[in-house]
Structure 1
Amino acid sequence: MKPAASTRSQPHHMPFLQGLLPVNAAQLPHDIIAGLTLAALGIPEVMGYTKISGTPTVTGLYTILLPLVAFALVGASRQLVVAADSATAAILAGTLTAVAALGSKEYIGLTSTVALTVAVMLVIARIFRLGFLADFLSRSALIGFLTGVGIQVAAGELAGLIGLAKEGHGPLMQLVSVVQRVAGANYPTTLLSLVVLAVILGCKRLAPRAPGALIAVIGSIVASGMFNFAGHGIAVTGDVPGGLPSLFVPPLHANEINQVLATAASCFIVIIAQSAATARAYANRYNEKGDDNADIIGLAAANAAAALTGTFVVNGSPTKTEIVDDAGGRTQVAHLTTAVIVLLVLLFLTKPLSLMPAPVLSAIVFMIGVKLIDVKGMVELYRMQKDEFVVALLAAGVVVFVDVMHGILAAVVLSLIAHARHSYLLRTRVLTRGPTGHLIPHHVEPNLLAAPGIVVYRFEADLFYANTGRFTAEVLKLANEASVPLRWIVIDATEINNIDYTAGKTLIQLGAELDRRGLGIAVVAVPTGVRHELDRYKALRISGTHREIFATVDEAIDALRDLPPSTSASAPPPDTKPPGSPAK
């Protein structure tokens, strides 16, 4: 059981180093061990991501060098690990190939340009405090999107597992291509892939803390050197540049601007949503105050560092964050430790990496893809919330059958549609007085009175353009279909926190329509902000009528019980139209 208490010994108010300070001496050894663990598990993983992104193997190592340091110094989260990510890597490969060949020098330069563009977008998001945008990509849509990415990633590595070149566009065509060419599989490559998969899965089942991928990488490199895998038809990584990455500003040509912006925008959405969700989860776990907007600056710094060192977009990684947390890491000291290990690998160990067999990376990436396929999450959605399961399924389908960029757009649009649907399909009630004197809610039906001549109608959502039609229709239904005498319709607006322009005009029109019928309208328990909006729209200020705002339903009933709705039926203002007609 992980402790729920905060690891901070005292508050830290600096705008940077929030993930590092104050340093807890007792925690320091645990953070260092967690950093070593992250290096052991993360290095093979980020190298695998380069197969997804279509960039040189060494660029994967670059994603957990300066970007990791940049976020540790500038970001606010003490736990979030920022590094290469499968979703953003897949977006790059699925979009930039429209303007450059995968793996070409131009393509690699474009991946860095996208990272720099993402950094600029993140800075703009911070200036305008847009951290809340993370809330508009629903968890169900994200589950579907990542499941689709997982299927795409896993299908894309099937050919590499058996020593064939990848062919076909999209997961289905790639799968068909592998099945058609399976007779031409390279048997040594296939055998090696099976051994690597067995090692990874065996470690996961028998020794979950053991770095199965790292064991497979080291073992395969040793075997490749001893038995000359390259001479037996097994492809190897080839030369991996050593030393520190060169610093440069990535180029951008006019004919590439649209594609770069579209790709960066897709990555931006995933980064905002996934990073914020992960950082919030771990801040809550350890009773720490999160800061989405400060983390956005950290993510911007990390992506700028990635761009300037020739690598691709980085993102807050849920899996790597959990690796560090599970190993006992509680601050960004763990991530700085990982960066030191990566630096040592770049300076002294890139030559052995050149002997690494290609099918080893294919096996690692295949397992990454399988892990992204969230069967448990999809089943849970189907069991608990079938409409959100449909959202997840549609998002996954767009990724699989179209592409990743349209998949993220579909995820966002479906999330907004789901949000609008929940706002539109709100709950409304009519309140009556029970035998004990308490108010009892009922479905909206006429002739349900809270007191003689008084109907109380409760609207349980913000009133805006999309639901004003329902609001008007239900209030008029109560008035039109009543078979008992009515004098007042009381709107219980306890749950209404905002009224937009369309809704304000609708209230004016509705009041005028009720005036024609000799009925009064009153409002109950409106929050201060909405009271101000009602006054601004003058929704309750009509000459010759008695309209006011009450604190409670009981107060409204007591005040209106013996009060006539108006001294005289007033005509509607000259610019008032019947309810439902367009407002001026």
Structure 2
Amino acid sequence: MPLIQPDGKDMQRKSLQSIAPGLMNLLAYERSWLKPDIRAGLSVAAVALPVAIAYAELAGVSAIVGLYSCILPMIAYAIFGSSRQLIVGPDAATCAVIAAVVTPLAAGHTELHWQLTIVMTLMMGTWCLIASRFKLGAIADLLSRPILNGLLNGVALTIIVNQISKIFGFSSPSSELIERIYALPVNLLNSHWPTVLMSLLTLLILLGVHYTRPNWPAPLFAVVLTTALTWAANLPHFGIETVGGYTGGGLPMVSWPNFKPGLLRDLVIPALNLAVVSFVSMMLTTRSFAAKNGYEVDADSEFRALGLVNIVSGLSQGFAISGANSRTAVNDANGGKSQLVSVIAALAIALVVAFFSEPLQFIPIAVLGVVLIYASWSLLDMRSIFRLRKRNRPRSIWRCLLS
């Protein structure tokens, strides 16, 4: 009996499925998904806009760069990603690591800081592609949950401490975490009270929306209302610091970073570490939402997708991104059915960048600090340490704390 040769179209379909699973899902799109996808996409954009701006501040780059990190990378994941719910974008842990690595190398030079951030993003993407090529997706199963919890708790605490000076309006010359904490009581005496009042107003808006309208994007309301107030009342005249200057506009352009090649060696290992941590964190989110919606994701495929979206982000003047827990949860809560949600959210953000980027200069720095603390609070998982303690697992507790 002659062997049945595989059809050429079937082989092409399987090849495309392995390389671009998101595109294959979009080609099989069902019309009934459109309405929930549009609703979810706009909701994701509403949450992503203020968070991306705040994370850009955390990474040490301009607000517009945070938005650039959302547009083309989200579209790229819609093509190459296998998760129908995952939303990629700026992440607290990723931005904190970027700032810690790049800031000393840039030595206060804003343009160099941005260029090195782009280089680190491209290197992270390259590491992810190499890992995918050698089928290293199983690394997501090797890094234990206690270690990841310890890392995220440490990142959250670092972000919170570093933002205190911004929400209270005092300057903190030290960059070391312990020194900042030690000097905190003295520095609080030098608080700038108009800035403190702005921070309190932002917090009240965030908590008010969170508890009265939990499905609404609280950070967006906080940023829009306080920015409008800052512009209308000319609050910079009273010493409230803003993003300042025209932050640029227009859609992202594909370009290659300009940097000194000698700095590459200082970024290789940090980019590798960032790739591993971002991938493991992303896979936890991806798998949990995939299980909830009744499908599976391939770890090696997701490693490749993470690499591609970061290369796209770097080439489009953005910074390193990962899976975004809060925005993925918003997508799922609004009934998003496919990767089209990412495309819709990206287009909505692109419209803001193209036509409404000038008002970004009036966003108060204190407001971004409060939004960052609000977002970072969800990273804290102290209960995990107590759960390990109840289970009498001292080794896991030490791993968590040392991370």
- Whether these two folds match at TM > 0.5 is yes
Distance 1:297 1:198, change over 3 A: same
- 8 Å CA contact 2:198–2:367 kept in 1: the answer is yes
SS at match of 1:131: coil
Question: Matches of 1:206 and 1:389 in 2, distance apart?
Answer: 37
- Corresponding residue for residue 372 of structure 1: 379
Question: Matches of 1:277 and 1:99 in 2, distance apart?
Answer: 32
Question: Matches of 1:290 and 1:103 in 2, distance apart?
Answer: 42
The CA deviation string for residues 391-414 of structure 1, in whole angstroms up to 9 with x for no partner, is 11121xxxxxxxxxxxxxxxxxxx
Question: Matches of 1:385 and 1:58 in 2, distance apart?
Answer: 48
How many pairs are equivalent?
A: 384
Higher strand share: 1
1:199 partner letter: I
User: Per-residue deviation at 1:127?
Assistant: 1.2
- Corresponding residue for residue 552 of structure 1: none
User: Per-residue deviation at 1:280?
Assistant: 1.6
- Give the alignment of 1:68-79 within 5 angstroms: 68-79=74-85
Question: Matches of 1:19 and 1:280 in 2, distance apart?
Answer: 18
Distance 1:18 1:375, change over 3 A: farther
- Corresponding residue for residue 131 of structure 1: 137
Distance 1:90 1:18, change over 3 A: farther
In the alignment, structure 2 segments of 5+ residues that lack a partner are: 1-12
- Give the alignment of 1:177-326 within 5 angstroms: 177-238=183-244, 239-326=246-333
Task: Check if 1:175 corresponds to 2:181.
Answer: yes
SS at match of 2:26: coil
SS at match of 1:99: helix
The structure 2 residue matched to 1:107, chosen from 96, 102, 113, is: 113
Question: Matches of 1:274 and 1:91 in 2, distance apart?
Answer: 14
Q: Compute the TM-score of the two structures, normalised by the length of structure 1.
A: 0.64
SS at match of 2:373: helix
The structure 2 residue matched to 1:32, chosen from 15, 29, 38, is: 38
- Give the alignment of 1:153-164 within 5 angstroms: 153-164=159-170
Task: Check if 1:43 corresponds to 2:49.
Answer: yes
The CA deviation string for residues 216-266 of structure 1, in whole angstroms up to 9 with x for no partner, is 111112111210011111111122211012221124533212211022111
Larger of the two Rg values belongs to structure: 1
Question: Matches of 1:167 and 1:295 in 2, distance apart?
Answer: 41
User: Per-residue deviation at 1:300?
Assistant: 1.5
- Corresponding residue for residue 359 of structure 2: 352
SS at match of 1:283: helix
Question: Matches of 2:226 and 2:341 in 1, distance apart?
Answer: 28
- Corresponding residue for residue 7 of structure 2: none
Distance 1:273 1:243, change over 3 A: same
User: Per-residue deviation at 1:169?
Assistant: 2.6
1:291 partner letter: D
- 8 Å CA contact 2:285–2:323 kept in 1: the answer is yes
The CA deviation string for residues 100-123 of structure 1, in whole angstroms up to 9 with x for no partner, is 125621111011001111111111
Question: Matches of 2:185 and 2:109 in 1, distance apart?
Answer: 25
- Give the alignment of 1:497-576 within 5 angstroms: none
Question: Matches of 2:180 and 2:211 in 1, distance apart?
Answer: 30
1:390 partner letter: W
The CA deviation string for residues 303-350 of structure 1, in whole angstroms up to 9 with x for no partner, is 011111112101112222112111211211111111011111001111
- Corresponding residue for residue 141 of structure 1: 147
User: Per-residue deviation at 1:19?
Assistant: 4.9
User: Per-residue deviation at 1:179?
Assistant: 2.0
Percent identity of the aligned residues? Answer: 28
User: Per-residue deviation at 1:91?
Assistant: 0.8
1:198 partner letter: L
Question: Matches of 1:89 and 1:102 in 2, distance apart?
Answer: 17
User: Per-residue deviation at 1:354?
Assistant: 1.4
Question: Matches of 1:355 and 1:184 in 2, distance apart?
Answer: 24
- 8 Å CA contact 1:55–1:103 kept in 2: the answer is no
